[in-house]
Chains A and B, each alone.
Chain A
């Protein structure tokens, strides 16, 4: 009754102003309980805005006759958009009902099955990072958005100054990106050369959501998905034109400018042309990551600064909601110092000059859906290394890494089951050289790997969707060819490598079968249990098969005969929701790894022209045992406050070690896998209110073994890295079309040291000022 009175009042007020220009007014209420919603954000064409008052009422007056797009948003509710046409001197009165968001709304995922499924309808552990969560996390890079996902371990030693980062999960080596598949809009981005991913490519503002699939995904995705898969899904246009631009400034004289724009030709239809463009530039003076003692001892240590530029353009055409294609071009270039400068103007540094071209075609007809993608990913990597010891050494690593391929999948809905199949083709290559400028040496390495994958999957729903079964199988065939490691004009810088000179490395091929079987039972809409078995695999990377060279602590020897590693994973999980406010989940997993790829000390040494150093090589270890537990709880305290807490335990140990030779002195049996924290946990909260929105998170990362032998490390001065906790904070405020964000990372200014004894940037603060248009 009160609402009706208010509406009448609004109408009467509007009538009283008939002589003025047009007016739009309305009341905002909860669609379920009809309660007024105060302080909801209301915007008109994105350049005028207001908030609803205590009674949920808003008003825009003195408007010119025009067509207006009115948008209403409030945390905990689905956003509302309506286009209204205002005639001269008219008053439009709106009764807007916002639908509350519950935990399961918008939780449709595509990565786990290559088909659309609700997150609770897939019998595996999936973590979804939504737009709302992304907005509350003070992340400077894409990987940092994953920090609060249970069981995810991120290795980014120097914050934004890190030229590389690794995201691993569930007890797998934290320095190896190759065991977790990372995709951008479904396109794999792990490089065949080393399995690595450039996490700096994307600006976090481009990301709509991230799907994290835990456990082996090789039955659908093949090699790199052995430990899991991460799909980064970028934003798509929803309006005729929208955009925002911002600048930010922060610690170490860091500054960034970024712009996002997108649009669709036909706003009110799913049909037509759409486009997307975003770009950013960032630079920073950086900081000196060496210890005080190292800085005193080495006069050439300098700050590790950065410059980076990225741009992403997308053009697409939709025939209708479910049929269309799009072309995406991404460009990225960076220049990151690594903290030492002797004579070269930029000192030791690394550059990644990258571009990606992706073409996607998707369609649907009756019960059939299909998806075809072509991609070409290129990275020109350049590293400058210089140092002064007895004499001056200066060389450049120039490496061209190309991955190209085609992905296809077709799914067919047949009553209560959905069949999916597809073919994937990929070629990865590397063509690299180390060019010395202080001696005559040039060291070349090259190699290619072709992969063919065929997969099939069946999703069966029974007992009125209470019971779900998924079975899948993938066959992969791969061929390593055109490999070579060649040293030209060797001097003392490289003569020690001559034993490994091999202009034509023998070809090799292998194949792998990756089955998956999973089952789930939903007791009701709030409780489910699931169990699954999946086998995953990962082939060796080109870098381990065709490049020998110096690495930290020794000399890495290539091995073109490396065989794929395998993992058999068994998992049980359960989810519960209580009163649509609290959601809890638990997962336990047990994995056995066979022929596990691991860097081991061979026991031999080699003279690197500055004394003998241990020889290290990637090797297939007989057996590895990994098991763990993940717990997570989300609580929606109110529509404005969401809390999250999680904990992950992982035990990763080598069960059986196969010696490299009969006189191999190394025995890794019962040693723990390095760079794996046994305990991790995080708590986070986001609170949206009319004064300022706040997001806070704290992450604990437990101790990790430093090396394969689990022995004392002379740099870390321990056999394990110390545990640490990082607390991050974000404040954000939007006033009409202007927005302000204050990001504070590592608020406690804790210092963490990496394997080289280098320290993280400490507390890192940026203030961002931007405008929506």
Chain B
């Protein structure tokens, strides 16, 4: 065996030694609040229940934006209204967010972004409480019945803004308005009537047709309020404006799916376009060809 042959073999193998060390350079992401009449600005006075609307624009300085966090800071409390993971590699972040003015005299709204180098940037706006109140009207859609994944007769998909329900034959053209789907399964062996949304991955497992839709809405269900029964059926029945709908929703315990939706559960939610609402479960079957019946109250 000639020595040069050994060299060739060694060099061939050494080609594949590569260093995988992380070498993240420092970056300077940037975020700003959009100006314009449609958006709230620092120093604005907005009555309790009134709409606060911010336009956000952010760039990651060559790195992907991976997190947007929004905090409502009052003298007494810090509430994280949104803490959302994302991956925006090109073009930056351009979004509008809508909230309701709370009871505090002064709210500092802090908007922070992080990129995938874990570099951060933030911007703030201060909103004061205006006179009076501006709680809004609500829509009420009683007794909507939806089929689980193996139900052959009932509709599967619900537009919570109108209360309309669709099946696979009637959904065409209405996909973009669907907020809610339901399915039934065993979670760690426990029976779980489940509410979800088209954008949620598991929902597409039980309703595979959703994968072919041109768009899939998300929704956030507050599972903490649901699991611990923080809102009673009487309170739900008594709600005449959106006060309860807004205040009941706990943003830090929200998910695109809500498990164990048994009869009597009251479930706060927030739709993709920022509407708050409440669901009341009237009746929930515990088999996958069954159905779930709900009452819905949602901001107009």
Q: Which residues in A have some Cβ–Cβ distance to B below 8 Å?
A: 47, 241, 243, 245, 257, 259, 261, 279-281, 293-294, 296-299, 307, 309, 311, 333, 335, 342-343, 351, 353, 382, 388-394, 435, 437-440, 491-492, 495, 553-554, 607, 609-614, 711-712, 714, 773
A711 with B189: CB separation less than 8 A:
yes
List, in ascending order, chain A residues with CB within 8 A of B254's CB. Answer: 390
List, in ascending order, chain A residues with CB within 8 A of B87's CB. Answer: 342-343, 392, 394, 438
List, in ascending order, chain B residues with CB within 8 A of A257's CB. Answer: 12-13
A297 with B202: CB separation less than 8 A:
yes
List, in ascending order, chain A residues with CB within 8 A of B64's CB. Answer: 343
Residue of A nearest to B210 (CB): A297
A294 in contact with B205 given A394-B66, A492-B83 (CB within 8 Å): yes
Q: C-beta contact mask, B201-217 vs A, less than 8 Å → 1, else 0?
A: 11011001001000000
From A261, A394, A613, residue with most partner B Cβ within 10 Å:
A394
Please measure, in the bound complex, the distance between the C-alpha atom of A611 and the C-alpha atom of B227, giving whole angstroms.
Answer: 9
List, in ascending order, chain A residues with CB within 8 A of B201's CB. Answer: 297-298, 388-389
Binds A, one of B32-40, B134-142, B154-162, B255-263: B255-263
A389 with B200: CB separation less than 8 A:
yes
B3, chain A: closest CB distance, angstroms: 10
A261 in contact with B6 given A394-B66, A611-B255, A612-B227 (CB within 8 Å): yes
Please measure, in the bound complex, the distance between the C-alpha atom of A612 and the C-alpha atom of B204, giving whole angstroms.
Answer: 22
Residue of B nearest to A387 (CB): B201
Is B1 located at the chain interface by the 8 A CB criterion?
Answer: yes
Which residues of B, 1-50, contact A by the 8 Å Cβ criterion? 1, 5-6, 9-10, 12-13, 16-17, 20
A614 with B253: CB separation less than 8 A:
no
Please measure, in the bound complex, the distance between the C-alpha atom of A270 and the C-alpha atom of B255, giving whole angstroms.
Answer: 70
List, in ascending order, chain A residues with CB within 8 A of B17's CB. Answer: 309, 333
B38, chain A: closest CB distance, angstroms: 25
Please measure, in the bound complex, the distance between the C-alpha atom of A562 and the C-alpha atom of B256, giving whole angstroms.
Answer: 38
Is B97 located at the chain interface by the 8 A CB criterion?
Answer: no
List, in ascending order, chain A residues with CB within 8 A of B211's CB. Answer: 296-297, 299
B205 with A607: CB separation less than 8 A:
no
From B67, B118, B218, B224, residue with most partner A Cβ within 10 Å:
B67
Please measure, in the bound complex, the distance between the C-alpha atom of A773 and the C-alpha atom of B8, giving whole angstroms.
Answer: 14
List, in ascending order, chain B residues with CB within 8 A of A394's CB. Answer: 66, 85, 87, 116
Q: Which residues in B have some Cβ–Cβ distance to A below 8 Å?
A: 1, 5-6, 9-10, 12-13, 16-17, 20, 64, 66-67, 69, 80, 83-87, 89, 114, 116, 118, 120, 185-189, 199-202, 204-205, 208, 211, 218, 220, 223-224, 227, 252-260
A281 in contact with B85 given A392-B66, A438-B66 (CB within 8 Å): no
List, in ascending order, chain B residues with CB within 8 A of A390's CB. Answer: 199-200, 218, 220, 254-256
From A279, A333, A382, A391, residue with most partner B Cβ within 10 Å:
A391
Please measure, in the bound complex, the distance between the C-alpha atom of A553 and the C-alpha atom of B185, giving whole angstroms.
Answer: 15
- A47-B1, A390-B256 provided; 14 other pairs, C-beta below 8 A? A243-B6, A245-B9, A259-B10, A296-B208, A298-B204, A382-B20, A391-B86, A392-B66, A392-B87, A438-B86, A440-B67, A492-B80, A492-B253, A554-B188
A343 in contact with B89 given A297-B202, A437-B116, A714-B188 (CB within 8 Å): yes
List, in ascending order, chain B residues with CB within 8 A of A495's CB. Answer: 252
Please measure, in the bound complex, the distance between the C-alpha atom of A492 and the C-alpha atom of B67, giving whole angstroms.
Answer: 13
List, in ascending order, chain B residues with CB within 8 A of A492's CB. Answer: 80, 83, 252-253
From A281, A335, A342, A353, residue with most partner B Cβ within 10 Å:
A281
B144, chain A: closest CB distance, angstroms: 23
Residue of A nearest to B84 (CB): A391
A688, chain B: closest CB distance, angstroms: 26
List, in ascending order, chain B residues with CB within 8 A of A333's CB. Answer: 17, 20
List, in ascending order, chain A residues with CB within 8 A of B118's CB. Answer: 435, 437
B1 with A243: CB separation less than 8 A:
yes
Contact partner of A259 (CB less than 8 A), chosen from B9, B199, B259, is B9
Please measure, in the bound complex, the distance between the C-alpha atom of A280 and the C-alpha atom of B10, giving whole angstroms.
Answer: 10
Please measure, in the bound complex, the distance between the C-alpha atom of A440 and the C-alpha atom of B6, giving whole angstroms.
Answer: 50
B88, chain A: closest CB distance, angstroms: 10
List, in ascending order, chain A residues with CB within 8 A of B199's CB. Answer: 390
Please measure, in the bound complex, the distance between the C-alpha atom of A245 and the C-alpha atom of B13, giving whole angstroms.
Answer: 11
Shortest beta-carbon contacts, A-B, top 5 = A438-B85, A297-B205, A773-B1, A390-B256, A343-B87
Please measure, in the bound complex, the distance between the C-alpha atom of A389 and the C-alpha atom of B198, giving whole angstroms.
Answer: 11
B223 with A611: CB separation less than 8 A:
yes
List, in ascending order, chain B residues with CB within 8 A of A491's CB. Answer: 69, 80, 83
A297 with B208: CB separation less than 8 A:
yes
Please measure, in the bound complex, the distance between the C-alpha atom of A745 and the C-alpha atom of B23, giving whole angstroms.
Answer: 40
List, in ascending order, chain B residues with CB within 8 A of A297's CB. Answer: 201-202, 204-205, 208, 211
List, in ascending order, chain B residues with CB within 8 A of A241's CB. Answer: 1
Residue of B nearest to A614 (CB): B188
Please measure, in the bound complex, the distance between the C-alpha atom of A241 and the C-alpha atom of B3, giving whole angstroms.
Answer: 11
A714 with B223: CB separation less than 8 A:
no
| Interchain Cβ contacts under 8 Å between A and B, 24 examples | A47-B1, A261-B6, A281-B13, A294-B205, A296-B208, A297-B201, A298-B205, A299-B211, A309-B17, A333-B20, A342-B87, A390-B218, A394-B66, A437-B67, A438-B86, A439-B67, A439-B114, A440-B67, A491-B69, A492-B253, A607-B253, A611-B227, A614-B188, A714-B186
B66 with A335: CB separation less than 8 A:
no
List, in ascending order, chain A residues with CB within 8 A of B13's CB. Answer: 257, 259, 279-281, 309, 311
B29, chain A: closest CB distance, angstroms: 13
A389 with B256: CB separation less than 8 A:
yes
B66 with A437: CB separation less than 8 A:
yes
From B85, B202, B227, B259, residue with most partner A Cβ within 10 Å:
B85
Residue of A nearest to B220 (CB): A390
Residue of B nearest to A294 (CB): B205
B77, chain A: closest CB distance, angstroms: 16
List, in ascending order, chain B residues with CB within 8 A of A307's CB. Answer: 16
List, in ascending order, chain A residues with CB within 8 A of B255's CB. Answer: 389-390, 609-611
Please measure, in the bound complex, the distance between the C-alpha atom of A356 and the C-alpha atom of B200, giving whole angstroms.
Answer: 45
Residue of B nearest to A331 (CB): B17
List, in ascending order, chain B residues with CB within 8 A of A714's CB. Answer: 185-189
A439 with B185: CB separation less than 8 A:
no
Please measure, in the bound complex, the distance between the C-alpha atom of A711 and the C-alpha atom of B10, giving whole angstroms.
Answer: 53
List, in ascending order, chain A residues with CB within 8 A of B259's CB. Answer: 611
Residue of B nearest to A442 (CB): B118
List, in ascending order, chain A residues with CB within 8 A of B227's CB. Answer: 607, 611-612
A724, chain B: closest CB distance, angstroms: 25
Please measure, in the bound complex, the distance between the C-alpha atom of A607 and the C-alpha atom of B12, giving whole angstroms.
Answer: 51
Please measure, in the bound complex, the distance between the C-alpha atom of A302 and the C-alpha atom of B291, giving whole angstroms.
Answer: 34
A548, chain B: closest CB distance, angstroms: 19
List, in ascending order, chain B residues with CB within 8 A of A435's CB. Answer: 118
A438 in contact with B67 given A257-B12, A342-B87, A491-B80 (CB within 8 Å): yes
Residue of A nearest to B115 (CB): A437
B257 with A610: CB separation less than 8 A:
yes
Please measure, in the bound complex, the distance between the C-alpha atom of A311 and the C-alpha atom of B10, giving whole angstroms.
Answer: 11
From A611, A614, A711, A712, residue with most partner B Cβ within 10 Å:
A611
Please measure, in the bound complex, the distance between the C-alpha atom of A612 and the C-alpha atom of B17, giving whole angstroms.
Answer: 44
List, in ascending order, chain A residues with CB within 8 A of B114's CB. Answer: 437-440
Please measure, in the bound complex, the distance between the C-alpha atom of A390 and the C-alpha atom of B256, giving whole angstroms.
Answer: 5
B189 with A351: CB separation less than 8 A:
no
List, in ascending order, chain A residues with CB within 8 A of B186's CB. Answer: 714
List, in ascending order, chain B residues with CB within 8 A of A773's CB. Answer: 1, 5
List, in ascending order, chain B residues with CB within 8 A of A612's CB. Answer: 227
Please measure, in the bound complex, the distance between the C-alpha atom of A58 and the C-alpha atom of B5, giving whole angstroms.
Answer: 30
From A390, A435, A610, residue with most partner B Cβ within 10 Å:
A390
Please measure, in the bound complex, the distance between the C-alpha atom of A392 and the C-alpha atom of B204, giving whole angstroms.
Answer: 17
Please measure, in the bound complex, the distance between the C-alpha atom of A279 and the C-alpha atom of B114, giving whole angstroms.
Answer: 42
List, in ascending order, chain B residues with CB within 8 A of A259's CB. Answer: 9-10, 13
List, in ascending order, chain A residues with CB within 8 A of B86's CB. Answer: 391-392, 438
A309 in contact with B6 given A243-B1, A297-B208, A607-B224 (CB within 8 Å): no
A377, chain B: closest CB distance, angstroms: 19
B250, chain A: closest CB distance, angstroms: 10
Residue of B nearest to A495 (CB): B252
A604, chain B: closest CB distance, angstroms: 13
